[in-house]
Chains A and B, each alone.
Chain A
């Protein structure tokens, strides 16, 4: 009989780079995003808590505190995973125009590879990506896959009427996209190793802009004209349904499975109404209170339009987890909920123990 542990995390990329590099999305937006009105680039026009967080050092001190809380949360989650000792760690994560591009965008895909080999510290330009662990550019991380469990889950979901895609090897992204890879790096912040077989479950969070904006903030143009909107991602309701079905299939399997939903919540760079500078803090707080109260049903009623308005595209990963936890009758234990204006996105760390 299968047993299930639930965990909600983030895969926030700046946790990789040393804070003193100030590789925050906000810094980049202030420097490079021409759509931001000039007056909004001046901190005096920002919300009060944002100015305080930014401080006199462009957020350096706040970044250290942000990191401390996140690392503490990741340690608690890792410890719970170790205690649970799963056969498989399944991760719902988004593909941000990494493995899936113009030649196919699946709403969901189970990556049932034999193994994953990734070099997270090689930059896109081939150079070293500075990282807090001081690890070299060529360091390879190898994770075992879960091909048998992946086939079992894909079969179970298809038999339940989900039109899930699956794959046995990479398409465009060698190894793993950042949502999955960062999750694994952060769950092993102490670098003691991560030997649990991994089953990445890809979710098309970026929906109507996954190709149009290539998973970022900037709309691509062809001959000077904006690309049209892409078809949407799956709805919150559908994500919760597939999460629930995943829990049912795995509950009847021989495996002990940790189900991980990995993403930050509202993203500044996806929130035009806040000039791409800060996230929709209010909307995230409403989602947080619903989660804390175990009111999963409130999440089911959220529309794709609401998600996109709030810059909460990546919350769809958590919606899958929420559907699974609702199916299992689990209430969350909140490890931390970190609100921020300066660091792109609010972050929640939670456990759903048996």
Chain B
């Protein structure tokens, strides 16, 4: 008998590295983003709340406090997932120029692999990635796929959604960070994560996915900025896809946890704040709408608004919101962590049967 549990969470990479390394996107931006005027790099010019969070120790105390809130939240989400005991866990996550590159950018892709084999503790340079679990670079994490992925792809295609599907990796071995971090954090206590997984890729980065390779810096060809890429799917379309996913799975034999994985506005995607802090006000508005179960307010948001607010990755949550609206579910907010210095505000939520 089909049942669905909804879960919203974050895959913020900063939870992997030990806080004492102070390897936040803000410290990197202050160090190496030349487009930020030097007066903006001076904490004196920051919003009051940001200065307080930064404190006298470059945010270390705040980082420890943020981690504690998030880890507690993830433990609660995991406990709910265990209590629900799903047959499969579907995660909507973005592909940040990882699996999909110039040779194809799908708007959506269901990754119907048999298995995902990942080595998250290998750094980009191939060396050891420092991590709070002290796990070695060669440690392999394996996750199972699930037959429901083909069922879902078929149902969505028959319902008029032009989704792509895949049976094996393209450019990214294993899983992109949106999916992998989600699984790592849902198993923060390392008791194992044996639920089969369907990663459902969403092109959140839209008009800059190739142009900026999923980051803040525009690529150039012969000294000229690359042209904008076609946009990602709109919030409305993501909600429609989420609703169709919920319908298809509600008619299936499986118990499914539907997860949206992303932080909200990202500092490094918010030029109006000099890439230093996210659009806190816009996130707060989205949060009030979510808390009230006012999913309909999200449907009218344009891609231009999303990009202005640096909320590109919220498209993952839009898919979940569409699914939950379809099922008539109200959210239970587990945590909403607002921050100026840790790149993005983060929401953890449950939508229970």
Residues of chain A whose beta carbon lies under 8 Å from any beta carbon of chain B:
100, 102-109, 148, 151, 154-155, 158-159, 161-171, 211, 228, 230-235, 237-238, 241-242, 304
Contact = CB atoms under 8 A, between A and B. Distances in A.
Contacts, number: 110
A171 B150 contact: no
A105 B157 contact: no
Contacts of B160: 235, 237-238, 241
B157 A231 contact: yes
Given A103-B166, A105-B164, A163-B107, A234 B157 contact: yes
Contacts of B170: 103-104, 171
Nearest to A238: B160
Nearest to A235: B158
Contacts of A105: 164-166
B141 interface: no
28 contacts: A100-B104, A103-B166, A103-B169, A104-B106, A104-B164, A104-B170, A105-B165, A106-B106, A154-B230, A155-B231, A158-B230, A161-B240, A163-B108, A163-B162, A163-B163, A163-B237, A165-B106, A166-B104, A166-B105, A167-B104, A167-B105, A171-B103, A211-B167, A231-B153, A232-B158, A233-B157, A237-B160, A238-B160
B168 interface: yes
B233 A102 contact: no
Contacts of A238: 160, 162
Contact of A102 (B102, B166, B234): B166
A163 B105 contact: no
A107 B163 contact: yes
Given A165-B162, A231-B154, 16 more contacts: A103-B167, A104-B106, A108-B162, A148-B227, A151-B227, A154-B230, A158-B234, A161-B234, A162-B162, A163-B233, A165-B105, A168-B102, A228-B150, A232-B158, A233-B157, A235-B157
Nearest to A164: B162
Contacts of B228: 151
Contact of A106 (B104, B150, B241): B104
Nearest to A107: B162
Interface in B62-80: none
B104 to A, nearest CB: 5
Q: Closest 8 A-B residue pairs measured CB to CB?
A: A154-B230, A163-B107, A231-B153, A163-B162, A106-B164, A165-B106, A103-B170, A171-B103
Interface string B308-321: 00000000000000
Given A102-B167, A151-B227, A167 B162 contact: no
Contacts of A234: 157, 162
B202 to A, nearest CB: 10
A75 B282 CA distance: 59
Chain B interface category by residue count: 35 or more
B178 interface: no
A107, A158, A159, A241 pick with most chain B CB within 10 angstroms: A158
Contacts of B240: 161
Interface in B234-274: 234, 236-237, 240-241
Contacts of B100: 104
B102, B157, B227 pick with most chain A CB within 10 angstroms: B157
Given A168-B102, A171-B103, A231-B150, A163 B161 contact: yes
Contacts of A171: 103-104, 170
B166 A168 contact: no
B247 to A, nearest CB: 16
A164 B107 contact: yes
Nearest to A162: B162
Nearest to A232: B157
B229 interface: yes
Contacts of B108: 163
B210 interface: yes
A242 B157 CA distance: 14
Nearest to B238: A163
A303 to B, nearest CB: 10
B231 A158 contact: yes
B234 A159 contact: yes
A170 B108 CA distance: 19
Contacts of A148: 227
A158 B77 CA distance: 34
B109 interface: yes
B164 A107 contact: yes
Given A158-B107, A163-B108, A231 B102 contact: no
